[in-house]
Structure 1
Amino acid sequence: MGTSEIFLIALTIILAVPWLAWRLLDRDDHAPLVVVQIVGGILLGPGVLGAVYPAYYAFVFNPQVIGALNGVAWWAVSLFVFIAGVELDLADAWGNARETLVTASCALLTPLVLGALAAAGLLTMSGWLGAKGTWRQGVAGIGMACAVTALPILVLLMEKLGIFRTPLGQRMLRYASMDDVAIWGVLALILLDWQRIGRQGLFLAGFALAAWALRRLMVRVREDDRWHIALIWLAAVGFAADWSGLHFMVGAFLAGAVLDAHWFEQGRRDAFRHFLLLAVMPVFFLSTGLRTHWGESSGGQLGGLGLPAVIGAALLLLVASVAGKLAGVHLAGRILGWQKGEAGVIGWMLQTKALIMIIFVNVLLDKQIITPEAFTALLLMAVMSTMLTMPIVRPRLRRLASAES
Structure 2
Amino acid sequence: MDSGNLAWLITASALVLLMTPGVAFFYGGLVKAKSVVSMMMMSFGALGLVSVLWILYGFNMSAVDSTWAFAGNPFSDFGLATLGSDDLVGALFGATFAIITVALISGAIADRAKFGAWMIFAGIWATVVYFPVAAWVWGGGWIMGLGETFGFDVGVIDYAGGTAVHINAGAAALALALVLGKRLNFQKGIHKPHNVPLVLLGASLLWFGWFGFNGGAEGLGALGTEDSVVGLIVINTLGATAAAILAWLLVEKLKDGKATSVGAGSGAVAGLVAITPACANLTPGWALVLGVVAGAVCALAVELKWKLGYDDSLDVVGIHLVGGLIGTIYLGFFAIETGLFLGGGIEQLVVQVVAAVGVLVYSFVIAFILGFAIEKTLGFRVKNEDEVAGVDTVVHGEEGYALTEQA
- Give the TM-score of the pair, scaled to structure 2: 0.33
- Bigger relative CO (Cα 8 Å, ≥ 6 apart): 1
- Give the TM-score of the pair, scaled to structure 1: 0.33
